[in-house]
Amino acid sequence: MGISRRKFLKVIGVAGSAGLVGKANSTFGVDQFTGSPDRFGVLTDLTRCVGCRTCEAACNEVNKLPPPKVPFEDQSVFEQIRRTDVNAFTVVNRYPNPQPGGPPIYVKHQCRHCDEPACASACLVRAFTKTQEGAVTYNKGVCVGCRYCMTACPFYVPAYEYNKPFSPEVKKCTMCYDTRVSKGGIPACVEACPMETMTFGKRSDLIRLARKRIIENPDKYIDHIYGEQEVGGTSWMYISGVPFEQLGFPMDLGTKPYPELTKGFLSMVPAVLVIWPALLGGFYMFTQHREEMGVSEETIPQEKEDQL
Amino acid sequence: MFRKTIIGAVSAWVIGVLIVSQATEEKETSSQNVPEVCTLGTLSKIYEPVLFSHGQHTLMAEDCATCHHHSEPGVTLACKECHGAPFDPKNLNMPGLKGAYHLQCMGCHQQMSSGPVGCTDCHAKRISQQTGMEKK
């Protein structure tokens, strides 16, 4: 007999674990989100926005947010780049036009409703859901306030109610899911915009529309749809006449969805927690039994020697 | 006799004015009634209706089709004949009425660097229910 029983079991155990690793990677690693093909999206045409902030006012109204410190007609807010806030689910920021004498570019910033949201993946309690309609919604009932979603979001979107110690919530754009989109309506900001900067429709149709606009007006647009593939694709997409890096868009996100960075090894945790104790416990039992056997084996030769 | 002369002269004058006013209409739609002022009030929730000086723009534009675009030659339709509700899935590139107004009007004003481009330049703000939007 070439191999001991102990060695054989060890080899089998390691091979089994290795096999499980391979299986986990292939099962849970996805390259492209293919769920809910009819999901909606919003295409924002940055050549149209004039910075009137009617979208911000509409969002404020439908979400029953408190009136802002600075009224929406006030253009002085554009002097600083703003982030989304617990009382401002969307903000418009102004960027200078790289072409001298050109009008400034206004960029509406809000949750991008990613196809594979980092916030949903990071959440400990599954408070975020990517709905069939495309909106990423938040369930305040299960949230524990850990704010991992805020750390995970590559666009710095979720805001937290630090000023409410007893019932804080994470606040972000909901794509007006509960009040409008789930009932066949369109988000309030999209409806309010006088310039139809934003177009609401099926994400697949919007990509075609964006491509059409870019092809028909090659001098007007940069040949890129931001959000088509960034972080695996987002429902809220942008086309622009000015390079995106000059408009505050993060350009280093890549096309791999954020959940995929952690799905591989995280999905193995339950398997490891079940199998390793069983395997190692098995090894322990065998070595115990072996030691017991070893004690009696040690004494026998001594007796045999005595007999001899 | 004098009265008849007066009546005749006045009638001739009136007819003459009518003929002259018709003759100076050099547009294709000269036979139709070209409005002088249009009140654009279908979408007036936040703002008062726009009093659009259509007559002034007809003098500036060489051709009706400059603004009344994408229709057959000689056909002049009001904006709302084609632009209805926005985001029709079959025609996503066609703006709705509000978007069409702003894109067409402000687009030209921006391009020509003349003409109103601010919100209240064309329509005054209503005192609305919306918090944050009220005039302070």
What's the ipTM?
A: 0.76
User: Is A162 found in the same domain as A51?
Assistant: yes
Say what the pLDDT of residue A34 is: 72
A239-278 residues touching B, CB cutoff 8 A: none
Whether A48 has its CB under 8 Å from any CB of chain B: the answer is yes
Say what the pLDDT of residue B131 is: 45
Whether A96 has its CB under 8 Å from any CB of chain B: the answer is no
pLDDT along chain A (308 residues), means of 10: 77 69 47 79 96 93 93 92 96 94 94 96 95 96 96 97 94 96 94 95 96 96 96 96 96 94 89 94 88 67 62
Whether B136 has its CB under 8 Å from any CB of chain A: the answer is yes
Q: Who has greater pLDDT, B44 or A138?
A: A138
Q: Sort out which chain B residues have CB atoms less than 8 A from A202's CB and list them.
A: 89
To the nearest 10°, the Cα dihedral for A68, A74, A78, A80? Answer: -50
| CA A118 to each of CA A41, A96, A162, A174: distance values in angstroms, whole numbers, following the listed order | 18, 30, 22, 16
Say what the pLDDT of residue A301 is: 58
To the nearest 10°, the Cα dihedral for B96, B99, B104, B107? Answer: -150
Closest CA to A38 of A204, A252, A209: A204
Domain's final residue, options A256, A273, A295: A256
Q: Look at residue A14 and tell me if it is in a domain.
A: yes
Q: Who has greater pLDDT, B117 or B39?
A: B117
Q: What is the CA radius of gyration of chain B?
A: 21
User: Is A272 found in the same domain as A227?
Assistant: no
Q: Sort out which chain B residues have CB atoms less than 8 A from A209's CB and list them.
A: 92-93
Rounded Cα gap, residues B77 and A35, in angstroms: 43
Rounded Cα gap, residues A25 and A265, in angstroms: 8
Name residue, tokens 């006030």. A74
| Bridge partners (DSSP) listed for residue A198 | A44
Note whether A201 contacts B87, CB cutoff 8 Å: yes
Say what the pLDDT of residue A205 is: 96
To the nearest 10°, the Cα dihedral for A43, A45, A51, A53? Answer: -20
User: Is A300 found in the same domain as A242?
Assistant: no
Distance from CA of A167 to the nearest CA of B (A): 25
Rounded Cα gap, residues A22 and A287, in angstroms: 29
User: Is A138 found in the same domain as A284?
Assistant: no
| CA B2 to each of CA A29, B5, B8, B15, B44: distance values in angstroms, whole numbers, following the listed order | 104, 5, 10, 20, 56
For B102, which of A71, A194, A200 is closest by C-beta distance? A194
Whether B87 has its CB under 8 Å from any CB of chain A: the answer is yes
Q: Are A258 and A118 in contact (CB under 8 A)?
A: yes
Q: Look at residue A35 and tell me if it is in a domain.
A: no
User: Is A189 found in the same domain as A285?
Assistant: no
Q: How many CB atoms are closer than 10 A to CB A158? A: 23
User: Is A170 found in the same domain as A286?
Assistant: no
Q: Look at residue A90 and tell me if it is in a domain.
A: yes
Distance from CA of B16 to the nearest CA of A (A): 46
Q: Look at residue A108 and tell me if it is in a domain.
A: yes
Domain boundaries, chain B: 1-28, 34-122
User: Is A281 found in the same domain as A252?
Assistant: no
Whether A205 has its CB under 8 Å from any CB of chain B: the answer is yes
Instruction: Please state which of the ranges A44-53, A107-116, B58-67, B84-93 shows the lowest mean pLDDT.
Output: B58-67
Closest CA to A212 of A225, A228, A226, A195: A225
Note whether A61 contacts B96, CB cutoff 8 Å: no
Q: Look at residue A34 and tell me if it is in a domain.
A: no
Interface test with A, best of B45, B129, B131 (most A CBs within 10 A): B131
Note whether B136 contacts A71, CB cutoff 8 Å: yes
User: Is A281 found in the same domain as A239?
Assistant: no
Cβ-based burial of B73 (10 A; exposed 0-12, middle 13-18, buried ≥19): exposed
Rounded Cα gap, residues B126 and B46, in angstroms: 6
Say what the pLDDT of residue A298 is: 60
Helix axes A5-28, A269-307, angle to 10 degrees: 170
Q: What is the pLDDT of chain B when averaged over all its residues?
A: 78
Whether A72 has its CB under 8 Å from any CB of chain B: the answer is yes
The highest-level CATH class for domain B34-122 is alpha beta
Domain extent at residue A170: 40-256
User: Is A276 found in the same domain as A131?
Assistant: no
Q: Look at residue A216 and tell me if it is in a domain.
A: yes
Note whether A61 contacts B132, CB cutoff 8 Å: yes
User: Is A74 found in the same domain as A152?
Assistant: yes
Contacts 24+ apart (CB under 8 A), A266-274: A267/A24, A267/A27, A267/A28, A268/A20, A268/A21, A268/A24, A271/A20, A271/A24, A272/A17
Q: What is the CA radius of gyration of chain A?
A: 29
User: Is A271 found in the same domain as A134?
Assistant: no
Say what the pLDDT of residue B3 is: 85
Say what the pLDDT of residue A21 is: 56
Note whether A190 contacts B92, CB cutoff 8 Å: no
Interface test with B, best of A40, A43, A44, A50 (most B CBs within 10 A): A50
Note whether A61 contacts B46, CB cutoff 8 Å: no
Rounded Cα gap, residues A181 and B8, in angstroms: 70
Residue A173, domain CATH? 3.30.70.20
Count of domains observed in chain A: 2
- pTM reported for the whole predicted model: 0.77
Note whether B132 contacts A52, CB cutoff 8 Å: no
User: Is A186 found in the same domain as A52?
Assistant: yes
Q: Look at residue A57 and tell me if it is in a domain.
A: yes
CA nearest to B110 within chain A: A103
Note whether B103 contacts A195, CB cutoff 8 Å: yes
